[in-house]
Amino acid sequence: MNRERRQRSSPEAIAPELDEWIEIGKVVAAQGLKGEMRVYPSTDFPERFEQPGRRWLRYPGKERPEPVELISGYFLPNKGLYVVQLAQVSDRDGAEALRGCIFVVPQSDRPVLEADEFHVRDLIGLEVFDGRTGTVVGTVVDLIPTGHDLLVVRPHGESEAEGTAGPIYIPFVREIVPVVDLEAGRLEIEPPEGLLEVNARSPQSSKSRKSGKSRKSDKG
């Protein structure tokens, strides 16, 4: 497993501006009576919620996040959630008060990725081309993490407001997505016969594109 490598900010560091934050998870519920809370992650890096240290929390209605101290955290595989404990929260009421808050990290804290890994925010907006015919398939609008991640593609010629045909779901694996060119703003797919039609009707999998495996990313 690739490990995240990052630059750590000192406690005295000035918080980045609002547009320099990356979302990594959302508080969805309290857990137990001692101040633990459940967090739905939007990152593939477990150390974001398992490694103690300084974190940032953005409260609903507030522009700038505030620093918090992560004491501990662990993953609930059957729920797809993390349970975390913050130094600032000691009871269930305190945890409930944070429901809806967003965990964020500075843009400068983005991990250094290995070859063939991408940040989700860099994939959003890429044009998707059929590598066999050169025709435009659509535009990447989202990613769904489901084991083998899925690219969510808005069909070409359909506006975001229309949404009549529904999105196309493309497994983000090298065999199907052999070319990702961030500089050119495009990726190429080589879909098996019937994949586009089937996935347009049935969603399931996208952030990393290793052969048969997903790539790690922050939502950002």
Q: Read off the pLDDT of each residue in 86-109 and give the average, rounded to a whole number.
A: 93
The CA distance from 63 to 129, in Å, is 38
User: What mean pLDDT do residues 33-42 have?
Assistant: 94
**What is the bridge-based pairing of β-strands 127-130 and 186-189?**
parallel
pLDDT at 200 exceeding the cut of 80: no
- Residues whose CB is less than 8 angstroms from the CB of residue 161 and which lie 6 or more positions away in sequence, other chains included: none
What is residue 9's predicted lDDT score, i.e. its pLDDT? 39
pTM above 0.75, yes or no: no
Q: How far apart are CA 103 and CA 39, in angstroms?
A: 9
Domain ranges for the chain: 18-109, 120-201
Of the given ranges (5-19, 47-61, 83-97, 108-122), which has the lowest mean pLDDT? 5-19
20: pLDDT strictly greater than 70: yes
pLDDT beyond 90 at 156: no
Fold of 120-201: SH3 type barrels. (2.30.30)
Q: Answer whether CATH 3.30.160.100 is correct for domain 18-109.
A: no
Give residue for tokens 């964020």: 104
For range 14-37, the mean pLDDT:
84
